A and B are shown apart, each in its own frame.
Chain A
Amino acid sequence: MNRLAPLALFALAIIMTIVGWWLLAPEGGESVVVYVSHDEVFSEPILKDFEKETGIEVRAVYDTEETKSAGAMNRLIAEKSNPQADVYWANEPIRAEVLRQQKIAAPYLSPNAAGIPESFRDPLGYWTGFAARARVLIVRQDVDPKPTSIFSYLDPQWRGKAVIANPLFGTTTDEIAALFVLLGDEDARSFMETMRDNDVKTAPSNGDSADLVSRGQFAFSLVDSDDAVSRMSRHERAIMVYPDQGADEIGSLIVPNAAVLIAGAPHPDAARKLIDYLLSVETERKLAFSDAAQIPLHSGVKTPPGVKPIEAIKTMAVDYAAVATKLQEIQPYLKNWAATR
């Protein structure tokens, strides 16, 4: 018996490996691989519904907060020569645009994209936006008067009382890049320098900065609308303000999700079906009524009371392709800015 102990251990390893593979192997039918940067808690139910409705198995890779929603993006870039993913569900269009520029995306004009405004999709179909978030101010309930503009960050009355997520990551980077496009380099740099001089604090993420405001440590922060809605739905002491809604103001940056077909996708047909599903009115309705509180981009989609229809928001007029290009250009500047905080 003892003589056989090492062999038995080895045999156990082999048996466990085989049983494990058998237990965990993907089912034999049609499948699609999707990399997802949208929060799993909101995206997984949509993908489960797709599985139920089409019988196509979805195998997903989700991003984590720790990788700053860029883990999936990094994998897509690393796998460029050997793609594993069929579809990328980006949580904002800038990364989707970067994928187009790096020739990782393939064009697909979904029939369901027809009802989505042109400003929220790539004309050639390399990415298509759906179910958006707005960039909003989350403001502590007891603050009076309340800030109504992102330029409130520069107002001395908020010195040391405002917080913003690290501009190196996520939608805050998008917003800063959009400001560079909209205001020009000089004014945008001045905005950043004044913000630093006004002692604006930085937090690791939008979620963290929303927490800092709702827990009373700061007066306001620029975050995504879903961050603000989730704090309000938990009855925390904060309200949401759509910034810069005046007639001659710049409006609120809209950040749609984006569906991208991956070049060389192993399952292209299933990938197109999934993209069609993501871009459907029904998916937008579900995401609007979920805790993600996403704003539908198709017109006429019913929304819950807390979610403003896209037509009711003054949106920032930006070209997402230009923002993506600018974002890559200003990264060294942002890195230096963040380092001097």
Chain B
Amino acid sequence: MITGKRVTLAAAALALAGIGLLPVLTMIARSFFVDGRLGMEAYAALFASSQRLLPWFGNSLLLASLISFSATIIGAPLGVLLARTDLPWRGVFAVLFALPFFVPPYVIAAAWFSALDQSGSIGRLLPEGASEFLSSTFFGLSGCVVSLTTSFTPIVMLLTMAYISAVNPRLEQAGLLASRWPNVLWRITLPLIAPAIVFASVLVFLLTLGEVGVPTFLRYPVYPTEVLTQFAAFYDFSAATAAALPLLLVAAMVLTLEKSLQRTSSATIGASMTNAPNGAIALGRWRLPLLWVVSLWMFATVITPFAALLGQAASLDALAQAFARGGDSILRSVVFASVGATFLTLSGFFCGYLIHHKALAIWRSVDALTLFLFTLPGTVVGVGLISLWNHPSTNVIYATPAIVILGFLAQYALIPTRMTAAVLQRIPPSLENAAELAGAGWFTILGEIVAPIAKRGLIATWTICYIFCVRDLGIAMVVYPPGSDTLTVRIMTLMANGAPSLIAALCLILIIVTLAPLLAAVFWRAASRPFT
């Protein structure tokens, strides 16, 4: 029994290492070879040009810090407001605020630009000088901040919402006996979810640090452009790998900091499943003003860019064109993302279990590996996959969509692992212990106790994995097999001289395809609700 558990968890960890770490190690190992012989030229060249690269690196750090700060300062209160208060239309707000997360950031930047442009919905309302100033100011750091804050705030908001729902209601109830909600929120709830907010903030920092599309579009020079340049302009894989290493070092430092912050936090979440959650926090006289503030913010940051996108796509002709040119890609995106999400949920379940229960001595390494892989730019993971799998004997992987699925499993392993660990945290260990004492095998415990209790969490995990897979661009762009592009890749390839209405229509379809499982879940819940 114990052996079965250990073997299964070890196999999951090994599979993760094989799928994710091996390609990266292969790529790094190759960067030490120049023309077939061992050499450090790539790293020497990087060191020699460090003076030139430092300002770009500084820009990257500045941008990542700004986005991390702004997304946290906006996303965390928004998450609390939408998850725990009696603000009207919270569900609608949550879906609308999450929308930017469902499309690649460069689409958001393009949408913002079309709104601010002189002929755009905002630009044409302004005097010519003002609109010119606005659209030219948008190019640079300010545009990057606006676009990426719009894109990444939902991450902080959604994680805050998820974690605040997991806070043990007994702790808040105890606090409410002695104090009122604002104090309970400040002194009990927020400290409990602080590690989740820090994690979300770190996630945003790292995603911004690796972002290329938006800074390139808005002409703000950042360090990852250097990595792309090495790939794109010089066909130099070794130099590109060497250039990526400083990014990895910063990522590792930030993750270590996050870990140490989490360790110093003495609070635990661990809601008891037998307790009903606390009721919504009554906003009282603040309800209406806050509704106004949230509505205005939503109008400014979500409705404005998306309306510009919709305005361009709003013709039957554009939609017909989009289906004609992207129909196959839409189908492929759905299938790849569904398969990827299913395998991710499966592997993430075991890795999350391993981490939560610290079931093997390597649990820290597995946790660190998933984080490391998540922070790697998709293009780097993609090139690593090419380095490892591009052989005649492995064409069954390399020349088929399996390579894309492997890329998803490597890059997004963090999501199901962390989510499963969070879900398992809500299951009292006594349940498993009791079953074990009663003689139940591990697989029986999983099937009879863990899976039924974690069912909702696992469905949520699958949905989030699906969303990450369907909006992926970095991996798919580098490794998609001939004739098997995904919708995000199709949008990118058509962006070069494609009609704006066609691009907008494809983006609209991408949003619908991404939201499909969420909509299905909403309909399913509505349909399964008993008539009263």
B390 near A82: Cβ-Cβ < 8 Å? yes
Chain A, residue nearest B233 (CB): A168
Whether B367 sits at the interface, judged by CB under 8 Å, is: no
B451 near A44: Cβ-Cβ < 8 Å? no
Write the A69-106 contact mask toward B (1 if CB under 8 angstroms, else 0).
11101110111011011000000000000100000000
Q: Whole-angstrom distance from the CB of B488 to the nearest CB of chain A?
A: 10
Q: With contacts A82-B395, A204-B217 known, is A68 near B232, CB below 8 A?
A: yes
Whether A42 sits at the interface, judged by CB under 8 Å, is: yes
Whether B530 sits at the interface, judged by CB under 8 Å, is: no
Cα of A20 to Cα of B335 in the assembled complex, Å: 6
Cα of A9 to Cα of B135 in the assembled complex, Å: 50
Q: With contacts A64-B489, A173-B233, A331-B233 known, is A40 near B448, CB below 8 A?
A: no
Name the A residues within 8 Å of B391 (CB-CB).
Answer: 81-82
A74 near B390: Cβ-Cβ < 8 Å? no
Q: With contacts A5-B451, A41-B494, A70-B232 known, is A16 near B331, CB below 8 A?
A: no
Name the B residues within 8 Å of A73 (CB-CB).
Answer: 235
A24 partner, pick from B52, B484, B490, beta carbons under 8 A: B484
Whether A26 sits at the interface, judged by CB under 8 Å, is: yes
Chain B, residue nearest A79 (CB): B390
Q: With contacts A13-B342, A204-B217 known, is A62 near B335, CB below 8 A?
A: no
Write the A157-172 contact mask toward B (1 if CB under 8 angstroms, else 0).
0000000000011000
Chain B, residue nearest A334 (CB): B233
A66 partner, pick from B216, B451, B497, beta carbons under 8 A: B216
Q: Is the interface of B mostly helix, strand, loop or mixed?
A: helix
Whether B231 sits at the interface, judged by CB under 8 Å, is: yes
Name the B residues within 8 Å of A173 (CB-CB).
Answer: 233
Whether B289 sits at the interface, judged by CB under 8 Å, is: no
Whether B343 sits at the interface, judged by CB under 8 Å, is: yes
Cα of A44 to Cα of B492 in the assembled complex, Å: 14
Q: State which residues 294-316 of B face A: CB under 8 Å.
A: none
Whether B228 sits at the interface, judged by CB under 8 Å, is: yes
Q: With contacts A20-B339, A74-B232, A169-B233 known, is A63 near B386, CB below 8 A?
A: no
Q: State which residues 314-341 of A face B: CB under 8 Å.
A: 331, 335-336, 339
A40 near B493: Cβ-Cβ < 8 Å? yes
A207 near B497: Cβ-Cβ < 8 Å? yes
A41 partner, pick from B399, B448, B480, B497, beta carbons under 8 A: B497
Name the A residues within 8 Å of B498 (CB-CB).
Answer: 39-41
Chain A, residue nearest B229 (CB): A168
Whether B417 sits at the interface, judged by CB under 8 Å, is: no
Q: State which residues 109-153 of A face B: CB under 8 Å.
A: none
Q: State which residues 187-237 of B face A: CB under 8 Å.
A: 212-213, 216-217, 219, 228-229, 231-235, 237
Q: Whole-angstrom distance from the CB of B490 to the nearest CB of chain A?
A: 8
A70 partner, pick from B235, B455, B485, B499, beta carbons under 8 A: B235
B447 near A5: Cβ-Cβ < 8 Å? yes
Size bracket, chain B contacts: 35 or more
Q: Whole-angstrom distance from the CB of B224 to the nearest CB of chain A?
A: 11
Whether B127 sits at the interface, judged by CB under 8 Å, is: no
Among A53-61, A185-193, A245-253, A273-281, the one that faces the other chain is A53-61
A65 near B495: Cβ-Cβ < 8 Å? yes
Whether B338 sits at the interface, judged by CB under 8 Å, is: yes
Cα of A26 to Cα of B386 in the assembled complex, Å: 21
A41 near B229: Cβ-Cβ < 8 Å? no
A204 near B496: Cβ-Cβ < 8 Å? no
Cα of A81 to Cα of B395 in the assembled complex, Å: 12
Whether B332 sits at the interface, judged by CB under 8 Å, is: yes
Whether B407 sits at the interface, judged by CB under 8 Å, is: no
Cα of A98 to Cα of B392 in the assembled complex, Å: 24
Whether A295 sits at the interface, judged by CB under 8 Å, is: no
Chain B, residue nearest A4 (CB): B447
A75 near B483: Cβ-Cβ < 8 Å? no
Q: Whole-angstrom distance from the CB of B127 to the nearest CB of chain A?
A: 15
B497 near A67: Cβ-Cβ < 8 Å? no
Cα of A160 to Cα of B216 in the assembled complex, Å: 21
Name the A residues within 8 Å of B106 (CB-CB).
Answer: 66
Q: State which residues 216-257 of A face B: CB under 8 Å.
A: 216-217, 226-227, 230
Chain B, residue nearest A25 (CB): B400
Cα of A246 to Cα of B136 in the assembled complex, Å: 36
Whether B478 sits at the interface, judged by CB under 8 Å, is: yes
Cα of A44 to Cα of B321 in the assembled complex, Å: 13
B485 partner, pick from A16, A21, A62, A78, beta carbons under 8 A: A62
Name the B residues within 8 Å of A20 (CB-CB).
Answer: 335-336, 338-339, 401
A230 near B497: Cβ-Cβ < 8 Å? yes
Interface CB pairs A-B, < 8 A, 13: A9-B458, A10-B346, A12-B342, A17-B339, A24-B331, A34-B482, A39-B498, A59-B482, A62-B493, A64-B489, A64-B496, A82-B398, A331-B233
A residues engaging B (CB < 8 A)?
2-7, 9-10, 12-13, 16-17, 19-21, 23-24, 26, 33-35, 39-42, 44, 57-71, 73-75, 77-79, 81-82, 84-85, 98, 168-169, 173, 203-204, 207-208, 215-217, 226-227, 230, 291-292, 331, 335-336, 339
**3 cross-chain pairs, A with B, having the tightest CB-CB distances, nearest first:** A59-B483, A3-B447, A59-B482
Give 14 new A-B contacts, CB below 8 A, not counting A40-B498, A204-B219.
Answer: A57-B483, A59-B483, A61-B485, A65-B492, A67-B228, A68-B232, A71-B478, A74-B231, A74-B235, A78-B383, A78-B386, A81-B391, A84-B482, A217-B136
